[in-house]
A and B are shown apart, each in its own frame.
Chain A
Amino acid sequence: MGYEWDFAVVFRDFDLLLLGLVNTLKVTGLALLFGVPLGLALSLARLYGNFAARLFVGLVIEFLRTTPPIAQLFWFFFALPILIGVEIDPFRASVLTFSLQSSAFFAEVFRAGIQSVEAGQWEASRAIGMDRNETLRRVILPQGVKRMIPAFLERAIELMKTTTLVSAISYADLLYQANSVAQSTYRTIEVFSVAAGMYFVVIFACSLGVRRLERRMARSGETVMN
């Protein structure tokens, strides 16, 4: 006798799962919103800062990249409040952790993108009197960012997957909600299957969207002849 599937129960509590998904997207979105510009700033400091700044930022980036995300999350949720004497709720702790954590990865994506632009572009920009910031803003980043899109997307997806860790500090993300629905309905298999499906749909839709964007940008005269 096989397992009797019953999705009806799951769909009765689907609004709870949707709420979880919204929370997941909220943390991911905010982490991107803060993490991307911070990553850009870190990459610029690492590339063009003075010796002390390069060293310091390099260490911070390596530290964020090499320590387990769950340990960082626990640190910001349990340790930081004791240090500063202020409660931090799971939502804020999550956003803080993943903004910082993803900024380290985005810093490396930006760095690779900036460095992939040929030296000739710097030369040409300098020759018409542009300074470093103008060159970065007008010439290097617009080209680098295009090339970064695949790596950027990969990191964003990785980020969304990593945010499942927030359920460990009781933040009601999709995984956390799935877990509580599973416990109240005893329909563990169905609930987690549906939750996995929801992750899949969102992430797959994102990557399709970006792939289309990439194709459109490729058509607008990107290929270099010389």
Chain B
Amino acid sequence: MSGGRGADGAGEALRIEDLRKSFGDLEVLGGVSLSVRRGEVVVVIGASGSGKSTMLRCVNFMEIPTSGKIFLGGALVGRERGGGIEYREKELTRLRARVGMVFQHFNLFPHMTVLQNVMEGPKTVLGCDGEECRRRGNLYLDRVGLAWKAESYPSQLSGGQQQRVAIARALAMEPEIMLFDEATSALDPELVGEVLETMKALAEDGMTMIIVTHELGFAYTVADRVLFLSGGRVLEEGTPSEVLTFPREEGTRNFLRGHGTFRLPEPRLD
């Protein structure tokens, strides 16, 4: 499934222990635990409102967990204090630079060129000098096949191209792990393929990824592991074929029935 990739279990990229998150009275995550090896691709599926986005947003601390622990590269994020964890915004800001995130709405910076978008993180956050920034920017634009669009503005690109720029922007920070939250959901069907291809190429290069998606065909071919989230808990977890073709849980079956047969990514005719 994950043919030829360097997922050799050499170390743990991320560990989540009993992650809980509530918004007021509403408990959205009710104790999620997960360990992701370096180079592993984990796909998270689940119905709308099951907490997929919230889980990703907790991993890069766009949301502060209500309780539970998150370890990045083996180290606990935050400090233990009085039974809970204390976070400092400064630390979290630094930490977010180590976790890449791609959103459903690409959220490119409209006042910057494509290259400037990709260079922005390295320049402002990592403080690299002009030449080094450009080199990095072009390198990662090339990775998503858009070096030729460097001087365009986001509004001059198709949705698929914009999303690939957003991926390059995240990659340019050289993150330890990449999170994708329904990266293709806002795209016209004919543009989905190019973004999935880009993500697949990343996976094959050994990038550690957590992907929330409704593209089950893509999940089947790219995932090392599939998680089915229901009501803020992991209801079922296993290899793609275990979860997607031979689901054990009734909840998973219901969800998959709703999806019909999966669509495979666009065929490659080369």
Task: Give A contacts to B, CB under 8 Å.
Answer: 118, 120-121, 123-124, 126-131, 134, 138-139, 142-143, 146, 220-226
Contact = CB atoms under 8 A, between A and B. Distances in A.
A222 B170 contact: no
A128 B159 contact: no
Given A120-B105, A127-B170, A226-B162, 13 more contacts: A123-B62, A124-B166, A127-B99, A128-B120, A128-B121, A129-B93, A129-B95, A130-B121, A139-B109, A223-B110, A224-B110, A226-B107, A226-B159
B153 A120 contact: no
Contacts of B252: none
A127 B101 contact: yes
Interface string B148-177: 000011111101001000100110010000
A67 to B, nearest CB: 37
B100 interface: yes
B60 interface: yes
A129 B110 contact: no
Contacts of B101: 127
Contacts of B124: 130, 134, 138
Contact of A124 (B107, B153, B155): B107
Contact of B186 (A118, A129, A220, A226): A226
A123 B120 contact: no
28 contacts: A120-B107, A123-B103, A124-B103, A127-B60, A127-B96, A127-B99, A128-B96, A128-B97, A128-B125, A129-B96, A129-B121, A129-B125, A129-B173, A130-B125, A131-B89, A131-B93, A134-B124, A143-B109, A143-B110, A143-B111, A220-B153, A221-B113, A221-B152, A223-B155, A224-B155, A225-B157, A226-B105, A226-B106
A167 to B, nearest CB: 42
A124 B110 CA distance: 12
Given A128-B120, A130-B125, A221 B154 contact: yes
A178 B254 CA distance: 84
Nearest to B102: A127
A127 B103 CA distance: 10
B103 A129 contact: no
B102 to A, nearest CB: 8
Contacts of B263: none
Contacts of B90: 131
Which A-B residue pairs are the 9 nearest by beta carbons?
A: A221-B153, A129-B97, A128-B121, A124-B107, A120-B107, A127-B101, A129-B125, A129-B96, A224-B110
Nearest to A120: B107
Contacts of A143: 109-111
A123 B113 CA distance: 19
Nearest to A226: B105
A118 B186 CA distance: 17
A146 B62 contact: no
B236 to A, nearest CB: 29
Interface string B223-241: 0000000000000000000
Contacts of B155: 221-225
B98 to A, nearest CB: 8
Contacts of A142: 111
